[in-house]
Structure 1
């Protein structure tokens, strides 16, 4: 697998995950990056891990965070992903998983209530990379870092009422 294929696979995982969230949330691209892979002795291997990120711009209330993480976790399990860890912290919960082809996926809540989604590829052969239009810092996207503060209201996800069973 080369870096372009890894980036495309990461975007597919992100798209499918966000499409599984009902009612839908609004989201934006976050800054991607690539990290050189190395041996346990910090020697380069000539391959690179590709990281793609999104952030949810919909305000997810504290009362609905568990529901969001549950929807995503069930979607990942249905896709055959292995859940590797769950942090049930009330303020900043996270869920992490791994795909059968070695990608790691994470969904978490940050300190300001911002919700992020990240996919990291296994080490991939060096190649050129393309990015979806709107990716920060890339052609067709905004320059600079995005504002991760949730700003979009949702009658469901922003509600402070507990979810009814």
Structure 2
């Protein structure tokens, strides 16, 4: 419970500046109150808040964090940051739809707009956006591994530090992350979900 309260607090603090971002947009002018580092912190908070909504908890790891310039690639005025996380918990085929549903309902509860749904049977994905235009996705990849990402809007260019949040679970060495390798009694189960399953927080 303490972890959930902390992540919700981080989300509130990180996104507090987003309202001022909207208030500084005038006639298409990209005057922004946040820089890329602050935007990346807000993206981290969205990821943490999303994971906190999933019960039983998932084991996850940070994946590649990237930045790029907005508009003209030679521009130094604004840029975006993308934060990524990879789920290391094994999610069985019969539980993947449930996990996608948990994430989708949580994002809707937060007031995020679902912008697109890929209903591919093998590699489904859900895409969403916050009112401040942070863009996020949850996608199922090879071996049923889940991937989450959050990309910021264009903010004032700045140096961006690696994510500071420490994920629960093993620390993986640098390089490509392995396929999901953590067993969970609920998410890894191959038993069909009962009709009254509590897995839909």
Q: How does the TM-score come out when normalised to structure 1?
A: 0.88
Which residue is equivalent to 1:120? 151
Which residue is equivalent to 1:153? 183
1:47-93 CA deviation, whole Å, 9 max, x = no partner? 11100000110001111110000000000000000001111222111
* Whole-Å separation in 2 of the counterparts to 1:36 and 1:23: 38
Residue pairs, 1:16-95, within 5 angstroms: 16-38=49-71, 44=75, 46-95=77-126
* Whole-Å separation in 1 of the counterparts to 2:127 and 2:36: 22
Which residue is equivalent to 1:138? none
Q: Does 1:6 align with 2:39?
A: yes
Q: Which has the higher contact order (CA 8 A, sep 6+)?
A: 1
Coordinate RMSD, CA, aligned:
1.9
Query: Where does the alignment leave 5 or more consecutive residues of structure 2 unmatched?
Result: 1-33, 196-201
Runs of 4+ in 1 over 4 A off after TM superposition: none
Query: Where does the alignment leave 5 or more consecutive residues of structure 1 unmatched?
Result: 136-140
Task: Tell which structure's C-alpha radius of gyration is larger.
Answer: 2
Q: Which has the higher strand share?
A: 1
